[in-house]
């Protein structure tokens, strides 16, 4: 079992995920580590979508400047930018379903080698709901998962097949974990990159899915 803290930390994973984004893209970032990706886009012209009805999401407000009418999809207070536009939820998911959003970066509970994704419920334990995740993975151009490689019990979250209820089937393109970067490919996952200080053997040992 690989050390839980081995490889990249949360910020390094977010930094690596930011490299996936191309100049001019409209992008949706999920809750958790994906939110941190916004800190690393650098000079690239990236417009962030918040699926509750906003393009051009800005940073958190300064204390005392919070606006109850301005929140992101994680219900956190945010700010607008000079490029911002607002719209209703049906329009928002029209642009998602219609393939206008270039990429979504999402967290996951489990990912399978065929690109199946599970991130919305644990039967009998955790019932929160899928929110916009099912629409996003079905509609956007590219789905990138950012998550810890293993759960708190040290079990692989990168599996031959998902055990939890699915968010989408065959939807994931790339997986970025603390141990490295993997692509969903013919017959299994392909190693794209190893995290700092992680060997290929360590990555393989920590992965239940087939690596081709």
Partner 1 sequence: MKKVYPDADAALDGLLFDGMHIAAGGFGLCGIPELLIDAIVKAGTRDLTIASNNCGVDGFGLGKLLDTKQIAKMQSSYVGENAEFMRQYLSGELELEFNPQGTLAERMRAGGAGIPGFYTKTGVGTQIAEGKEVKQFRGEDYILEEGIFADLSIVKAWKADDTGNLVFRKTARNFNPPAAMCGKVCVAEVEEIVPRGSIDPDHIHLPGIYVHRLIQGEHEKRIEKVTTRNREEA
User: By rule CB under 8 A, what string of x and - marks binding of each residue 85-114 to partner 1?
Assistant: -xxxxx-xxx-xx-----------------
Positive or negative: CA dihedral 142, 188, 15, 108: positive
Q: Are 183 and 210 in contact (CB under 8 A)?
A: no
Residue with Cβ nearer partner 1 (134 or 194) = 134
Cβ partners under 8 Å of residue 177, min gap 6? 7, 13, 146, 147, 148, 149, 157, 158, 195
Buried b / exposed e across 59-72, counting CB within 10 Å, b at 16+? eeeeeeeeeeebbb
Residue with Cβ nearer partner 1 (42 or 94) = 94
From 7-15, 133-141, 146-154, 172-180, give the range in contact with partner 1 by CB under 8 A: 133-141
Instruction: Please say if 51 is a catalytic residue.
Output: yes
In which residue are the tokens 């994704």 written? 117
75 is a contact residue toward partner 1 (CB under 8 A): yes
63 is a contact residue toward partner 1 (CB under 8 A): yes
Which residues bind to partner 1, rule: CB under 8 A? 50-54, 59-63, 65-72, 74-78, 80, 86-90, 92-94, 96-97, 127-135, 138-139, 165-170
């Amino acid at each position: 079992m690989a050390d839980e803290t081995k490889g990249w930390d949360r910020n390094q994973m977010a930094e690596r995920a930011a490299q996936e984004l191309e100049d001019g893209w409209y992008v949706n970032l999920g809750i958790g580590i994906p939110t941190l990706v916004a800190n690393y886009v650098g000079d690239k012209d990236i417009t962030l979508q918040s699926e509750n009805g906003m393009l051009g999401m800005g940073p958190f407000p300064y204390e005392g400047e919070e606006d109850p009418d301005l929140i992101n999809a994680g219900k956190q207070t945010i700010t607008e930018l000079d490029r911002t536009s607002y719209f209703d939820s049906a329009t928002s998911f029209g642009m998602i379903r219609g393939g206008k959003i270039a990429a979504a970066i999402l967290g996951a509970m489990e990912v399978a080698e065929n690109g199946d994704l599970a991130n919305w419920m644990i039967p009998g334990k955790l019932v929160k709901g899928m929110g916009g995740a099912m629409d996003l993975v079905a509609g956007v151009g590219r789905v990138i998962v950012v998550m810890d490689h293993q759960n708190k019990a040290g079990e692989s979250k990168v599996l031959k097949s998902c055990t939890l209820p699915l968010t989408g089937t065959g939807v994931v393109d790339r997986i970025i974990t603390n141990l490295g970067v993997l692509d969903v490919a013919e017959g299994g996952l392909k190693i794209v990159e190893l995290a700092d200080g992680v060997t290929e053997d360590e990555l393989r040992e920590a992965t239940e899915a087939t690596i081709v």
